[in-house]
Amino acid sequence: MHIPVLQKEVMQYLAPKPNENFIDCTAGFGGHTAAILEKNGPQGRVLGIDWDKEVISQLKSQTTKFKDRLILINDSFTNLKEIAKKFHSISGVLFDLGMSSWHMEGSGRGFSFLKSEPLDMRYNVNNPLTAEKIVNYWSEPEMENILKEYGEERFAGNIAEEIINERKFYPIKSTSQLVKIIQKAIPFRYQRQKIHFATRVFQALRIAVNDELNNLKKALPQAVEILNPQGRMVVISFHSLEDRIVKNFLKEKSKENILQTLTKKPTRPARQEIIINPRSRSAKLRAAIKIKQ
């Protein structure tokens, strides 16, 4: 079982008790799920959802200890309300929006700019849109827009223009090709920054391929709707765009007296956790409790 981000804090805010039911909307490789199942026995259950069929398959083989109390569903959390119809009395909902190490290192789908892989970037391999289709067929204004909006990339125009120029001569099929194009498009002094110069472009393409921000906007209201009164919602985001959506949603529902926010400011990983797991450094946790049906 992998080490999940902010596990102690997730358990603190979800506060699972014996026989309560929870939904992990981003089950991944089961770290948070297993921690909840350790606390909500003997009859409490967890419904684990993941969009990636291969992840669900691996998780099933790793969680046989809890097989009687763990229900695993391969679907998008945008269908949360429908998925949860037969799963009653929900005391907590968790979203961990981070990408797993396996997706970066073992999936072979081009999530990482540190190795040469096909430009795929899909969590759900049945999704017709890939990163390769975007860089080879989308217009220059469309690409510039997603690099600006989803990657907050200051050289979005330069990079989109360079992609258009390069694809006139050959199709852009691999991550290594794309990294070279980005490198050509940005000033040399920005290629030596602390954050790798391809980070924002890869983030933008991944978000666009999987429609991540719109999916989050669709799922959050459903999570509130299915929660019991006094049920808790915890969301871990990993970049400012996601965190802004979560922050604004919780603020709106607090004004409507539907939720009470439990985190005035986002909870961040402790220094020790960042040392053990450097990818946790950008994580932000926000939590709320439902106070009205």
**CATH of the domain spanning 7-102+212-290, picked from 3.30.70.20, 3.30.70.260, 3.40.50.150, 3.40.190.80:** 3.40.50.150
With H, G, I as helix, E, B as strand and everything else as coil, classify residue 174. strand
pTM exceeds 0.85: yes
Show me where the domains of the chain are located: 7-102+212-290, 111-210
Pairwise CA distance, residues 7 & 16, whole Å? 13
Decide whether 7-102+212-290 matches 111-210 in CATH topology: no
Q: What is the pLDDT of residue 1?
A: 46
Pairwise CA distance, residues 184 & 96, whole Å? 35
Q: What is the pLDDT of residue 88?
A: 87
Q: What is the pLDDT of residue 99?
A: 85
Nearest Cα neighbor of 97 from 276, 235, 219, 195 is: 235
Pairwise CA distance, residues 210 & 120, whole Å? 11
Segment 228-284, tens digit of pLDDT = 999 999 999 999 999 999 999 999 999 999 999 999 999 999 999 999 988 899 999
227-237 and 284-290 as β-strands: parallel, antiparallel, unpaired? antiparallel
Tokens of 159: 């990079």
Q: What is the pLDDT of residue 2?
A: 62
Q: What is the pLDDT of residue 8?
A: 95
Q: What is the pLDDT of residue 101?
A: 81
Residues of the chain short of pLDDT 70, as ranges, are: 1-2, 293
Q: What is the pLDDT of residue 60?
A: 86
Pairwise CA distance, residues 36 & 33, whole Å? 5
Dihedral sign from CA coordinates of 8, 246, 31, 283: negative
CB 233 within 8 A of CB 91: no
Helices 31-39 and 7-14, interaxial angle, to 10°? 40
Pairwise CA distance, residues 266 & 104, whole Å? 25
CATH number of the domain at 111-210, please?
Answer: 1.10.150.170
